[in-house]
Structure 1
Amino acid sequence: MNELIISWIIFMSIWSFAAMGFDKSRAKKRGRRVSEKNLWLLAIIGGGIGAYIGMLLFKHKTRKTTFRIGFLLLAAVYIMVIVYTLGIDFSQVKNA
């Protein structure tokens, strides 16, 4: 089950990242765009990490506060899900 959860997050993050890149490309060419609703949906259902990385890398939707904050929060949530799923215990980490 843990592998399925992590695989889902990875898959959705790749898809969200690609959608952000595709939308940026279409914006430059003034072509048909990916709707903001669909970008949000991909981020919410598991692609928050990829959406946030795509936003930063492609410099896309960075002026919109809702995207900057929302995608960052979703990325943080999915990182916490991965950490929890892997059973990483940071209380055992020693200070160097």
Structure 2
Amino acid sequence: MQRVRAAQYRALQQVNREQMQLYWDLGQLIAERQQQYGWGKSIVETLARDLQTEFVGMSGFSVQNLWYMRQFHLEYSASEVLQPLVGETSGAKHLLI
């Protein structure tokens, strides 16, 4: 039983790391494109709609969440102390930080 639980926990940790990396990457993309091309509110709304259309049933790609991803990237990339936490901490804990 303990072996199964340990394997489940490790699998959940890996999923969390991948999800946080995805959020980081999307936030970075938005921040970079805003700086390079002057992306604004409407392009983020379009991106959210496109992601929701492509990945039906998958939550987390709302306009507000994309702005949170951008903020997440900007806040953490500005701090050497926070950067190592990107994949090691859950999304809820990142919101608290």
In the superposition, the TM-score normalised over structure 1's length comes to: 0.41
In the superposition, the TM-score normalised over structure 2's length comes to: 0.41
Instruction: Tell which has more relative contact order, 1 or 2 (C-alpha 8 A, sep 6+).
Output: 2
